[in-house]
Amino acid sequence: MRGLLIGRFQPFHEGHQYLVDRIAEEVDEVIVAIGSAEQSHTGENPFTAGERLQMVHDVLEPVEESTYVVQVRDVDRNAVWVSHVRTLCPSFDVAYTNNPFVARLFDEEGIATRGTPLRRREEYRGTEIRRRMRAGEDWTHLVPSPVAAVVDEIDGVERLKRVAQTDDPRSSERES
């Protein structure tokens, strides 16, 4: 059996690693789909699809034989989104999500969904990690070490600080 986990992974963090590990206990193979692949260089989506692919690949390399990593661009039509995902991924039997809307889209297409266990959600959250990066606070303990290495290699913290700058002090990043 093969399971799908889709997320933006901006960046891939310890909470994501926990999810992949739990899903791997239930299925034979895990597909990690990098969503919003066309998004980058913004405060909410600072990393490119290629950089996120590298992060996930480097973390999952020890279990490479049982994982797939793919990129999924957004489409602006919810009615065809699941079909779009299916064309970009190996076939899968179950989609893992805690998003009720995403679960409904998969359910409408006849694909089983399961909720995912969350671990230290307030800390292991992309929004919090990016906030810490912008503020110059420690964030590296919230991500697997290969992710921190990729962020360092691409000077990702400096990029995030630059792209998050705005003339409007009232603007803030959306929750992720």
Given CATH 3.40.50.720, say whether it is the number of domain 1-164.
no
Task: Give the separation between CA 97 and CA 113, rounded to whole angstroms.
Answer: 7
**Average pLDDT of the chain to the nearest whole number:** 90
pLDDT tens, position by position, 31-62:
999 999 999 999 999 999 999 999 999 999 87
Instruction: Please report which confidence band the pLDDT of residue 168 belongs to, taking 50, 70 and 90 as the band edges.
Output: very low
**What does the pLDDT average to over 15-19?**
92
Q: Give yes or no for a contact between 49 and 40, defined as CB atoms under 8 angstroms apart.
A: yes
Q: How confident is the model at residue 72 (pLDDT cuts 50, 70, 90)?
A: very high
What does the domain layout of the chain look like in residue ranges?
1-164
- For residue 86, the tally of other CB atoms under 10 A from its CB is 15
Dump pLDDT digits (tens) for 59-68: 998 776 688 9
Q: What is each CA distance from 118 to 14, 86, 167, 172, in whole angstroms?
A: 11, 25, 35, 25
Give every strand in the sheet of 67-71, ordered side by side. Answer: 67-71, 29-34, 2-7, 94-96, 112-114
User: Nearest 5°: CA angle at 144, between 139 and 146?
Assistant: 105
What is the tens place of the pLDDT at every residue in 122-151?
778 899 999 999 999 999 999 999 999 999
Please give the model's pTM, rounded to 2 decimal places: 0.86
Q: What's the pLDDT band for 121 if we cut at 50, 70, 90?
A: confident
